Amino acid sequence: MNEPRRHHYLPQCYLKGFCIHPKKRQLFVVDAKQQASFTTNISNIAQERDFNRIAIEGIDPNYIEKEISKFESDVSIAINNIVENGAFIKNTKDLILNLIALLAIRSPQRREQFTGFHSDVVDRILDISLATEDRWNQSQ
């Protein structure tokens, strides 16, 4: 079985709502950094190779991606229900609110912020611990 390698931080079921050609699943993209625009399939954007892959002994490296995929399948149904029926009932509401929360934290930029924050904390703790010989001895 092929393992997923393109891990989307914006779910394709969400991106589908912005498609200019829904059947082709195409979006018009503006790249501000490159000052360019183009049309592409939603499978090609808001994704990174192995973004959700983990390296923990005894755990499937794609565990997180597979669990997110299950959640996104439910979200896709909820989004379709809202679009088709205008139904924003309890289960649908909970799924959409969880999606919004996930979107707020699931991106390369946010991951970089978390990594930077943790690195800064470790650096400061080391600076304090190594500031004097007494502190070094106390930390042993």
**What's phi and psi for 29, nearest 5 deg?**
-115, 135
Helix segments in 1-140, DSSP class H: 12-15, 63-85, 90-105, 108-129, 133-138
Give the residue extent of every domain in the chain.
6-106
Question: Digits of tens for pLDDT over the chain (140 positions)?
Answer: 688 899 999 999 999 999 987 789 999 999 999 999 999 999 999 999 999 999 999 999 999 999 999 999 999 999 998 988 887 887 899 999 999 999 888 888 887 887 777 888 888 888 888 777 777 777 77
Look up tokens 């703790």; give the residue: 125
